[in-house]
Amino acid sequence: MGRAAASLPALPSLLLLGLVAAGAAWPARAPAALPRLPAVPNVVHPPVPDEMRQLAEAAAEALGDDDPEVRPALFQGDMAITNEMYEYWRVGLRWDVFPEKLWDNATVPYVISPLYDPADYATIFQAITTLKFMTCIRFVPWDGKAKDFLLIWPIKKPAGCWSFVGKFGGPQLLSLQPPDERGPNCLGGEGRAIHEILHALGIFHEQSRADRDEFVDVLYENVIPGLEVNFDKQSLENTTYSFEYDYDSIMHYGKYYFSKEKGKPTIVPKKKDAKLGQRWSMSTTDCLKINDLYGCLDKSSYHQRRFYTLCRIMGA
């Protein structure tokens, strides 16, 4: 099954989903030209800022079987970032100052691990197809030659959903834990895959915006002791925002993230009846943000009209 699954990106998404729904068998033989995949160990050590390093092991034990985006015990749960990236993030990271962290020519070579079951493979592929359709970013199957590419893999440890932020360089891991006896983990739908891919493209969590205190309250008394750092926010020093704060963002924490006790909220909206975050699809603002980041809205009046329309119609 492994070699056959690796050939799936060539199938149109609707045909792919139809095959899965119908329980059709995959082709018995994969194309001979498939590139050789790099070896990926079951246990990896993604970077954690020094400020969190001593907390990471204790945090992983405290978090237990919590949300799969929290479970990896990285910065803010699911973000693999270096000390340098963390320091720039704190003062308001500007991608125009670090263009090398964006994917060249808005093109992302990718590999989906052949270890995924066909249905899970289809979920990841559909997430990529959605991002391709709603943005000008090109996702292309890795040809074995591109130095930088996204390597989507079911990492065993740290398990859960996690990603580097922006282009890190080389084979760049993005972990999506498949369903198991505990539940769907990262692949109950395409939403969590989209969330992690948006991290890989350069999008941070919404509630870490410098202006977030105007929109939400963080209840630090309910946060697992030692993990308050996960509610840090960026400095206003270098930060400007082109879009309004988005309670509905696919990149926003849920109400109970990092809670020390079930049922105790850690972050609540100031706007009455607002709900925090969702993991179904990009919101209109998520869609506009990623299109803006990669210059999709500036290509021409046609592209601007197209992507504004797609974001308004298809955004959550």
Which residue numbers are catalytic?
196
Q: What is the Cα–Cα distance from 9 to 2, expressed in whole angstroms?
A: 14
| CA neighbor of 17 nearest in space, from 152, 119, 117 | 119
Which tokens is 160 given?
Answer: 């859960």
Q: Is 252 annotated as a binding residue?
A: no
Give whole-number Cα distances, 271 to 43, 234, 255, 259, in Å.
42, 21, 14, 21
Q: How far is CA 238 from CA 88, 89, 198, in A?
A: 10, 10, 22
Closest CA to 109 of 83, 131, 139, 86: 139
Q: 303 among the known binding-site residues?
A: no
Q: Which of 178, 196, 203, 199 is nearest to 188 (CA)?
A: 178
Q: Which residues are annotated as a binding site?
A: 195, 199, 205
- Residues in the annotated binding site for Zn(2+): 195, 199, 205
